[in-house]
């Protein structure tokens, strides 16, 4: 119970801090707008297929997440508040508090990218809404989970900027491949049940990454 309220307090603290400083939000949304505009200029009047649009969607999500999600831990290190948090909260509360914050941020990010893609690319029309919604929600949780532990690792490193996407790519590859496939299904109008294999992979990915991160986090966070 105490751990839950501590986790919730960390989530609230991060949300309040983000609203004041806009550390992550500015980086995320500037990247999203820039990337979408560049892609639009590149393809001009071409009509890309569902697979290509789905791929472009997740490329933008991946790089936007890389530019924003690491901030949760990097900002604590830069401000010198990591030790303050260590003094007042258990490792598990910090991990789950930061994870929840990153999940909220990733869901908002995906919502913004979806709206932008719908406006910018006429071919980006979601035919099976349930498939798209479930894919985005599951992928956001998986992306946030992997990004949170990676952010904790790179916050302790000297070469933060370059290390993050390099470490993240192999870990996020299975998630991104599955998410692209499921998103293409949603754009093509496949029935909801057709994507069952993808949902199972995404759920398994979330469970494995979250459990592994939880076990590893104490060692990353402390020394």
Partner 1 sequence: MKLTASHLTKEFNRRAIFSDISFTLEIGDSLAITGKNGAGKSTLVKTLAGLLSPTRGAVEYLLNGKKTEVDALRDHIGMVSPYVMLYDEFTAMENLTLLSRIRSNNLPIEEQSKELLERFSLWNKRQELVRTFSSGMKQRLKFVFAVLHRPRLLFVDEPTSNLDAEGVRVVRGMIEKQKKTGMLIVATNSAQEAKWCKKRIHLG
Binding site for partner 1 (CB under 8 A): 2-3, 5-6, 9-10, 12-13, 16-17, 20-21, 79-81, 83-91, 93, 222-223
Instruction: Write b or e for each residue in 206-223: b if 16 or more Cβ atoms lie within 10 A of its Cβ, otherwise e.
Output: beebbeebbeebeebbee
Beta carbon nearer to partner 1, 89 or 153: 89
CB of 7 to partner 1, least distance (A): 9
Give the span between the Cα atoms of 124 and 221, in whole angstroms. Answer: 41
Q: At what angle do helices 50-68 and 23-43 cross, to 10 degrees?
A: 150
Closest distance of CB 54 from partner 1, Å:
38
Residue among 5 and 127 whose Cβ is closer to partner 1: 5
The whole-angstrom separation of Cα 92 and Cα 118 is 38
Nearer to partner 1, 5 or 49 (CB): 5
State in angstroms the smallest separation of the CB of 196 from partner 1.
40
Q: How far is the CB of 161 from partner 1 (least distance, A)?
A: 22
- Supply 6's token pair: 């501590």
Q: How far is the CB of 99 from partner 1 (least distance, A)?
A: 15
State how far the Cα of 145 lies from the Cα of 212, in Å rounded to an integer.
Answer: 10
Q: How far is the CB of 92 from partner 1 (least distance, A)?
A: 10
The token pair that represents 58 in the structure block: 């997740």
Between 51 and 91, name the residue whose CB sits nearer to partner 1. Answer: 91
Residues 6+ apart with CB under 8 A from 72: 14, 24, 98, 101, 102, 148, 151
Of the pair 101, 121, the CB lying nearest partner 1 is at 101
Residue 75 or 178: the one with the smaller Cβ distance to partner 1 is: 75
CA pair distance 216, 218, nearest whole angstrom: 6
């Amino acid at each position: 119970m105490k751990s839950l309220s501590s986790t919730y307090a960390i989530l609230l603290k991060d949300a309040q801090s983000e609203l004041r400083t806009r550390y992550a939000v500015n980086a995320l949304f500037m990247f999203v707008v820039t990337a979408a505009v560049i892609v639009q200029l590149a393809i001009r009047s071409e009509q890309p297929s569902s697979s290509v649009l789905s791929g472009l969607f997740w490329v933008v999500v991946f790089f936007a997440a890389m530019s924003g999600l690491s901030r949760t831990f990097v900002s604590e290190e830069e401000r010198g508040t990591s030790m303050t948090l260590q003094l007042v909260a258990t490792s598990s509360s910090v991990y789950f508090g930061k994870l929840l914050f990153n999940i909220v941020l990733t869901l908002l990010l995906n919502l913004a990218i979806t709206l932008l893609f719908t406006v910018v690319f006429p071919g980006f029309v979601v035919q099976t809404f349930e498939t798209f919604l479930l894919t985005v929600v599951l992928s956001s949780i998986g992306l946030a989970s992997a990004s949170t532990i990676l952010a904790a690792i790179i916050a302790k490193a000297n070469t933060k900027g370059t290390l993050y996407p390099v470490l993240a790519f192999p870990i996020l590859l299975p998630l991104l491949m599955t998410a692209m496939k499921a998103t293409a299904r949603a754009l093509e109008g496949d029935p909801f049940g057709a994507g069952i294999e993808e949902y199972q992979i995404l759920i398994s990915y979330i469970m494995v990454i979250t459990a592994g991160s939880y076990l590893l986090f104490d060692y990353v966070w402390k020394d």
